Structure 1
Amino acid sequence: MASIDLTSALNRFWLPAWQALGTEPSSGYLPSLLARYDEPHRHYHTRQHLAECFAHFSQVQAACEHWPEVALALWYHDAIYQRHGDNEAASAALAITQLRGVGVAFPACQRIEALIWVTRHAAPPSTTDQSLLIDIDLAILGASTERYAEYSRQVRAEYRWVPSFFYRRGRRRILESFLAQPSLYHHPPMRQALEASARRNLTAEITSLRRGALYRMGI
C-alpha cells in the first residue's frame, strides 16, 4: 500500500474535492470534523483510519465514477461515532447538512449519502463508487499481521464497556460473516492485493477468540 499522511490527504482530497463539486467548505467544517476523529473514546476510528483510507483511495481514485463524492464520503463516513445510535445515518446527516449548506447539488448529495450508508456493510453495493468505498473501508482486514493485531486491540478498546464473553461472541459473528463471503473485495486490484491476507487475518483472530472463550470456560 502506498503511504500517505493526513496532511497529504488534506492537500489532495479535501478542498480539491469541494472545488470539483463547484463550491468550497465553510471554514469551520474541517476543524470540527477532525475534532470528532480526535474524540477520546475512539481508538480505531481516528485520524489514523482516515489516513489509511486515503492511502488506498489514492490508488483507486482513477477508477471512481465521481471521485470528489467518494473523497467526501470518506472524510465524513465515521464523523459520528457513539456507543449507541445509528452512526452511519448520523454521519450521513451531518455530511448532507454541510454539503447543502454550501450549495452542493442535490444529486451529488444523494450519492454521498448513499456512499456513507453503505459503510454499514448491511447490503451489497449498487454502484462502482460504493464498491470502492467499501473496499477502502475494509482494507484494514488485509493489513500486515502487525497492523491487524493493532487494529484488533483498537476495536476492543472502543468496546471496552462490553463484557469479554459478549464481545468475543459478537466479534466472532461479524468476522465469520465476512469470511463467509465469496470475496471480501470488489475492485480486482484490491482483491488481488488484500484478499489472501484478509482471510488469514480473519481466520487467525477467529481462532484466537475461540481459544479465549475456551480458556474462560476452563477447557
Structure 2
Amino acid sequence: MAPPATDTLPQLLAAHSGPDRHYHGLQHIAECLQWLEQLRSLVARPAELALALCFHDAVYDPRAKDNELRSAEWAQAVLQAAGATPDAVQRVYALIMATCHFQPAQAQLPEDGAWMLDIDLSILGASPARFAQYQAQIQAEYAWVPAADYALRRQAVLRSFLQRPAIYQTATMQAWLEAQARHNLQQSLAAV
C-alpha cells in the first residue's frame, strides 16, 4: 500500500480542529488512540483499527444524520487512493459504520468492531472529572438545541446506555470501565 496523499493528515487534523468540535475533536481521537495502544495485543488488526478511529468522527455535524457514512466514505477514498486492498478498505469502512451506536441489537459487528465501539465509548467510564468535562463538551456541540429539548434528548441517550445489559462489548472493557460508566451515567441522570 502506498502512503496516503500528503494532504490527508492536514485535512484530517483540520476537520477535527473545527471551532464547533468541543468533544468530537483531537482530544477524543487522542484518547481513543491511547486506549488502542493499551489494547493492541488483543486487537486482530490494530493498524486498521487505528485508521478507523482516526476517521470515525472526521465528518461531524451534530445536525446531520449521516456523519458516520460520510466519514467512512472519506476513509474509503483515502485508502483506495493509497492502494489498500479492497478487503482492508471494507474492514475500515465497516469499523467506522459500527459507530452508529443505535443499531439493532442483532447487527453483526465486523472484526474488531467490539473494540471500536468500546474504545469510542470509553469516555463513559472516565474519571468523574473527565466525564463532567465530556458532558459540558457535548452540550456545547448541541448549543443550538433549546435547553429543555436538549435535556430530554440527552437523558434519553444516557438512559439507553444504562438499559443495555452491558455498555461495553468486550470482557476487558467491562472489567475496566463498566462500573464507572454506570456510576457516571446514573450521577448525570440524577443531577437533572
- TM-score class, shorter-chain normalisation, is over 0.9
TM-score (norm 2): 0.94
Instruction: State the partner residue of 2:153.
Output: 170
Give the CA deviation at 1:126: 2.1
Which residue of 43, 62, 71 maps to 1:91?
A: 71
Give the secondary structure class of the aligned counterpart of 1:91: helix
Aligned residues: 188
Which residue of 84, 109, 128 maps to 2:89?
A: 109
Give the secondary structure class of the aligned counterpart of 2:139: helix
CA distance in 2, matches of 1:203, 1:147: 15
Which residue of 176, 182, 185 maps to 1:202?
A: 185
Give the secondary structure class of the aligned counterpart of 1:55: helix
CA distance in 1, matches of 2:102, 2:128: 26
**8 Å contact from structure 2 (residues 131, 184) kept in 1:** yes
**8 Å contact from structure 2 (residues 2, 84) kept in 1:** yes
Give the secondary structure class of the aligned counterpart of 2:97: helix
**8 Å contact from structure 1 (residues 77, 116) kept in 2:** yes
Which residue of 158, 170, 175 maps to 2:141?
A: 158
Instruction: State the partner residue of 1:17.
Output: none
Give the CA deviation at 1:122: 2.2
**8 Å contact from structure 1 (residues 34, 47) kept in 2:** yes
Give the CA deviation at 1:207: 1.3
Unmatched segments (≥5 aa) in structure 1: 1-21, 210-219
Mapped pair 1:76 → 2:58: no
| Distance change >3 Å, CA 122–CA 85, structure 1 → 2 | closer
2:16 maps to amino acid: Y
CA distance in 2, matches of 1:151, 1:75: 19
Give the CA deviation at 1:85: 3.7
Mapped pair 1:36 → 2:15: yes
Which residue of 91, 102, 114 maps to 1:122?
A: 102
Q: Which has the higher contact order (CA 8 A, sep 6+)?
A: 2
Give the CA deviation at 1:127: 3.7
Instruction: State the partner residue of 2:36.
Output: 57
CA distance in 1, matches of 2:109, 2:77: 24
Identity %: 42
Instruction: State the partner residue of 1:149.
Output: 132
CA distance in 2, matches of 1:35, 1:163: 28
CA distance in 2, matches of 1:194, 1:168: 25
TM-score (norm 1): 0.83
Unmatched segments (≥5 aa) in structure 2: none
**8 Å contact from structure 2 (residues 94, 110) kept in 1:** no
After TM superposition, what 4+ stretches of structure 1 lie above 6 angstroms from structure 2? none
CA distance in 2, matches of 1:68, 1:30: 16
Instruction: State the partner residue of 1:188.
Output: 171
CA distance in 2, matches of 1:90, 1:98: 12
2:176 maps to amino acid: A
Structure of higher CA gyration radius: 1
1:113 maps to amino acid: Y
CA distance in 2, matches of 1:182, 1:70: 25
CA distance in 2, matches of 1:41, 1:129: 30
Give the CA deviation at 1:150: 0.4
**8 Å contact from structure 1 (residues 118, 125) kept in 2:** no
